[in-house]
């Protein structure tokens, strides 16, 4: 694909579609939505408003990082919505992964509708939907693997006209488009992060206790990967926490606490992936740090399953 031609064509098409109206962009701070923000910003400038929804399912420090980058490095209108309590209430007692994804997707849209009502002429919703999202959601002839919040999770009665400029691209092309648009390399090369956030890494019902454990373990993993200089070697790396406990031993006493799953993969387009072989010393150091710093965790497990048969995410 000629990425420069794609960028030029997309900017022209967005200008023609939106015209003199305005658009809201669903900004997560991830690669897809950030490239969308840069692309649409070049097309319609100040007619773009970016909305970042803090649903409480982001990684530790995520909100602060998004606010810093998009308030200081990009000339966009940024609205930050604190919706943590709202999402947790909706997700209470929900265990099914598909139902969680659909609830998160619908709440996203409802938040955007509320923000739209406060603004004038924002008739378009921009989303960073990419080709893999559409395929895995069973759309356009594909088979359902999982519903993505920006595809299968959308309610039928949305009040926006959708603009999805990246829907024909896979992740590698999205990154290339970001570089063409002049986005900083750390943002372009950033690992993928699911739209439902940690909601699909906190397996089963999402509880505040397990969510906080997950955030701390994820922070430790990201810190260790950065210290080892592996950020650009591993395509995606994260932790997940199950909804069951296992037996362990803490301070010479029997403990009944959580295991943590570590997942690291290499891929080009997310359609297939191979598990990443972290060195033994790295895994040993990581396991010790997680169990030392998070007393609710007594076991660290490393996933060595490719996609297929597994998916990259657990839910």
- Examine the fold and report which residue of 156, 188, 220 is the final residue of a domain before the chain moves on: 188
10-residue block means of pLDDT along the chain (315 residues)?
94 94 86 91 90 91 83 81 94 94 89 83 88 67 48 58 92 93 84 86 95 97 95 93 94 91 92 95 97 96 97 93
SS3 assignment, position 65? helix
Of 135, 154, 188, which closes a domain?
188
Domain annotation covers residue 194? no
Q: Establish whether 40 is an annotated binding residue.
A: no
Residue 10 annotated as part of some ligand binding site: no
Q: Do 252 and 297 belong together in one domain?
A: yes
Q: Are residues 129 and 224 in the same domain?
A: no
| Predicted local confidence at residue 149, as pLDDT | 44
Q: Is 34 annotated as a binding residue?
A: yes
Q: Is 31 annotated as a binding residue?
A: yes
Is residue 196 one of the residues assigned to a domain? no
Q: Is residue 240 located within the same domain as residue 113?
A: no
Distances (CA, A) of 256 to 107, 221, 244, 289, 298: 35, 23, 10, 19, 8
d(CA 66, CA 34): 10
Q: Is 163 annotated as a binding residue?
A: no
Q: What integer pLDDT is reported at residue 156 of this predicted model? A: 63
The domain total for the chain is 2
Give the pTM: 0.77
pLDDT for the residue 157: 62
147 assigned ligand-binding residue: no
Helices 31-44 and 3-18 sit at what angle, rounded to 10 degrees? 60
Binding residue per annotation — 66? Answer: no
Residue 4 structure tokens:
């420069």
Q: Which domain holds residue 205?
A: 201-302
Give CA–CA dist 147/139, Å, rounded: 10
């Amino acid at each position: 694909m000629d990425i420069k031609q794609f960028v030029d064509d997309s900017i022209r098409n967005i200008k023609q579609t939106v015209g003199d109206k305005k658009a809201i962009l669903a900004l997560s701070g991830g690669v897809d939505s950030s490239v969308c923000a840069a692309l649409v910003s070049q097309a319609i400038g100040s007619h773009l408003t970016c909305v970042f929804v803090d649903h409480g399912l982001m990684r530790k420090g995520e909100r602060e990082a998004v606010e810093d980058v998009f308030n200081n490095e990009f000339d966009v209108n940024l609205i930050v919505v604190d919706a943590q309590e709202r999402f947790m209430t909706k997700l209470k007692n929900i265990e099914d992964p598909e139902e969680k994804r659909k609830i998160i997707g619908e709440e996203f849209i409802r938040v955007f509708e509320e923000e739209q009502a406060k603004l004038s002429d924002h008739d378009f919703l921009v989303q960073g939907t990419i080709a893999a999202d559409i395929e895995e959601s069973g759309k356009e002839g594909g088979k359902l693997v999982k519903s993505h919040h920006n595809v299968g999770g959308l309610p039928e009665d949305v009040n926006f006209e959708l603009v999805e400029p990246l829907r024909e691209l896979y992740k590698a092309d999205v990154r290339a488009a970001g570089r063409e648009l002049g986005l900083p390399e750390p943002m372009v090369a950033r690992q993928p992060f699911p739209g439902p956030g940690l909601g699909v890494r906190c397996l089963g019902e999402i509880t505040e206790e397990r969510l906080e454990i997950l955030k701390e373990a994820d922070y430790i993993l990201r810190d260790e990967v950065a210290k080892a200089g592996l950020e650009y070697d591993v395509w995606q790396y994260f932790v997940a926490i199950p909804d069951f406990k296992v037996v362990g031993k803490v301070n010479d006493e029997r403990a009944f606490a959580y295991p943590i799953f570590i997942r690291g993969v290499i891929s080009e387009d997310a359609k297939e992936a191979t598990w990443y072989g972290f060195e033994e010393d790295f895994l040993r150091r990581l396991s010790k740090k997680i169990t030392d710093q998070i007393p609710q965790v007594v076991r660290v497990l490393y996933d060595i399953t490719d996609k297929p048969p597994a998916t990259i995410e657990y839910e």
